Amino acid sequence: MRRVVVTGIGATTPLAGDAMSSWEALLQGKSGIATLEQDWVAKYELPVTFAGQAKIAASSVLSPQEAKRLDPSSQFALISAREAWADAGQPEVEPERLAVDFATGIGGVQTLLDAWSTLQERGPRRVLPMTVPMLMPNGPAAAIGMALGAKGGARTAVSACASGNEAIANAFHRIQRGEADVVVAGGAEAAIHPLPIAAFAAMHALSRKNETPEEASRPYDIDRDGFVMGEGAGALVLESLESAQSRGANIYCEIVGGSVTSDSYHITAPDPEGAGAARAMLDALEQADASIADVEHVNAHATSTPVGDIAEYTAVNRVFGTHTENLVIAATKASTGHLLGGAGAIEAIFTILALKQQQVPPTINLDNQDPAIPLNVPRSMARLQRPDAVAISNSFGFGGHNAVLVFRNI
Amino acid sequence: MAHSQQEVLAGLAELVNDETGIAADAVQMEKSFTDDLDIDSISMMTIVVNAEDKFSVKIPDEEVKNLITVGDAVTYITANQD
């Protein structure tokens, strides 16, 4: 099977408007979480009044006409994909050999809800003709495919918060099997709107630390009380090694594993035994032809929910046993919040940069680490010691979806 | 308040520009929406609905297909204002 490398990265996140600035802010221990200023927070008396909004508004990057025809999730997707494409040096590839694997967890939810309001208040004739193409969950993948001229297939993985990782895994396998030479892969989400906030709050999934939003996302901390919603997108350019080498491209690292499993346990709760998550990690490592001792860095899913963080620890422990204590863990949602379908993509970028630069970003807000989760989670920037080791990035989603990626320096 | 043809043309050009980014001064009476201005059916419907609001006029769907040129639209709107 063909080897696959990462040759471009792009992102727009609550920390910054591009990938490298997001990474720098992460290394500096910044938080992208803040109180929401929108009128609707008070109007609907939302129980959660903060989130991680994209640092740079998409409307300030795209032309008004472009923005008008895209749901915010597709806007973020397009911005991140263009950055990744430029970063990769705009590879010359036959359109039929260029594909897109771009995920979203929820799709064009803002478009859908705005259209429903319009219908109720102003009638059917005022519902925008672009409503359907804007709300469909394949909108981000289609927008990227059109912008870059990709004709090798534009696919959308939809597996809640595992979507971004699943899309990247799909892209990886597609190039491995020779179905495409270059794939733009990643995920986007734009769900900061009163209804998703009310709905996630109704299931008590969100932190309610309204007085201290910057401290609300606190994976592994004893006082964690839920995740913090974030928005944005991340994109990778994946490419066959031969394609990258033949054009002398800058290579970040190699992607060597991508596995997707499902718990078949509960629609929202993770399997407390962590069996499905563990299987995803083991399978991804097997694809990478790596042993558990070959792993040094893990970018954890770690959303800051009481049960989720424990379940992931259980799964990690199940896979790594006594090697668990040697792992250097980062829980970057502490800084970015949870980008849902975009989470895996931006965390893949953070994992890749950690591997390449051999430095792990700090996990902020970890004031009192939960004694039930005795992982090595640096609170300030830490050096990695083994450039030949692999790094893994975990994502898990409602529905019992588990998706794990493995990267290695080249 | 009725708008003159000149006002309708200027207002329509603004709507076209807003929706598509086409320069307002390119929106001239003899231009075809599809062949000259390359406006697709979805943008056309958006422009029509916005024009209804802007000029207090009803443009039935069956009428839209007769609005081939900018001039057709300007004439229809000017003649059918409330």
Interface test with A, best of B41, B49, B57 (most A CBs within 10 A): B49
Mean pLDDT along residues A189-216: 97
Using an 8 Å CB-CB cutoff, list residues of chain B that contact chain A.
18-21, 41-43, 45-46, 49, 52
Contact criterion met (CB < 8 Å) for A130 and B49: no
Reply yes or no on whether the pLDDT at A253 is more than 70: yes
Rounded (10°) angle between helices A275-287 and A306-320: 50
Q: CA-CA distance, A139 to A100, in Å (whole number)?
A: 12
Percentage of residues in chain A having pLDDT higher than 70: 100
Mean pLDDT along residues B63-82: 94
Domain interval for residue B66 = 5-80
Mean pLDDT along residues A188-204: 97
From the list A62, A77, A61, the residue with the least C-alpha distance to A140 is A77
Percentage of residues in chain B having pLDDT higher than 90: 93
- Cβ partners under 8 Å of residue A147, min gap 6: A78, A81, A82
**Band of pLDDT at residue B1, cut at 50, 70 and 90:** low
Write the residue in A65, A125, A130 that is nearest to B21 by C-beta.
A65
Q: Kindly report, residue by residue over A293-331, the tens digit of the pLDDT.
A: 999 999 999 999 999 999 999 999 999 999 999 999 999
State residue A94's pLDDT score: 98
Contact criterion met (CB < 8 Å) for B42 and A68: no
For residue A230, list its beta bridge partners. Answer: A52
Are residues A376 and A331 in contact, defined by beta-carbon separation less than 8 angstroms? no
DSSP state of A21: H
- Cβ-based contacts of A125 with chain B (< 8 Å): 49, 52
**Band of pLDDT at residue A37, cut at 50, 70 and 90:** very high
Q: Nearest CA of chain B to the CA of A84: how many Å? A: 26
CATH code, domain with B10? 1.10.1200.10
State residue A229's pLDDT score: 98
Are residues A22 and A11 in contact, defined by beta-carbon separation less than 8 angstroms? yes
- Cβ-based contacts of A126 with chain B (< 8 Å): 49
Are residues A100 and A84 in contact, defined by beta-carbon separation less than 8 angstroms? no
Q: What is the DSSP string of A315-382?
A: HHHHHHGGGGGG-EEE-THHHH-B-GGGHHHHHHHHHHHHHHHTEE---TT-SSB-TT------SS-E
From the list A59, A51, A90, the residue with the least C-alpha distance to A76 is A59
Reply yes or no on whether the pLDDT at B82 is more than 90: no
Percentage of residues in chain B having pLDDT higher than 70: 99
Strand, coil or helix: what is A192? coil
Reply yes or no on whether the pLDDT at A16 is more than 80: yes
Q: Kindly report, residue by residue over B33-58, the tens digit of the pLDDT.
A: 999 999 999 999 999 999 999 999 99
Contact criterion met (CB < 8 Å) for A126 and B49: yes
Quote the tokens at residue A65: 């006409």
Q: CA-CA distance, A281 to A393, in Å (whole number)?
A: 9
Q: CA-CA distance, A238 to A254, in Å (whole number)?
A: 9
Quote the tokens at residue A51: 């989130």
Reply yes or no on whether the pLDDT at A199 is more than 80: yes
State residue A224's pLDDT score: 98
Mean pLDDT along residues A244-263: 98
Asked if A129 reaches chain B (Cβ–Cβ under 8 Å), the answer is: yes
Q: CA-CA distance, A67 to A60, in Å (whole number)?
A: 9
Q: CA-CA distance, A361 to A31, in Å (whole number)?
A: 12
Q: Nearest CA of chain A to the CA of B52: how many Å? A: 10
Q: Nearest CA of chain A to the CA of B21: how many Å? A: 6
Q: Any idea which residue has 């609907």 for tokens?
A: A44
Catalytic residue chosen out of the listed positions A161, A173, A193, A297: A161
Interface test with A, best of B42, B58, B63 (most A CBs within 10 A): B42
The domain total for chain B is: 1
Residue A253 annotated in active site: no
Furthest-apart CA atoms within chain B: distance in Å: 32
Q: Any idea which residue has 């792990």 for tokens?
A: A360
Reply yes or no on whether the pLDDT at B81 is more than 90: no
Residue A29, number of CB atoms within 10 A of its CB: 16
Q: What value does the mean pLDDT of chain A take?
A: 97
Q: What is the DSSP string of chain B?
A: -PPPHHHHHHHHHHHHHHHH---GGG--TT-BTTTTT---HHHHHHHHHHHHHHHT----HHHHTT--BHHHHHHHHHHH--
Q: Is A251 exposed, middle or buried (0-12, 13-18, 19+ CB in 10 A)?
A: middle
Residue A275, number of CB atoms within 10 A of its CB: 17
State residue A65's pLDDT score: 87
Write the residue in B19, B41, B42 that is nearest to A65 by C-beta.
B19
Q: Kindly report, residue by residue over A124-168, the tens digit of the pLDDT.
A: 999 999 999 999 999 999 999 999 999 999 999 999 999 999 999
Mean pLDDT along residues A78-102: 98
Reply yes or no on whether the pLDDT at B3 is more than 90: no
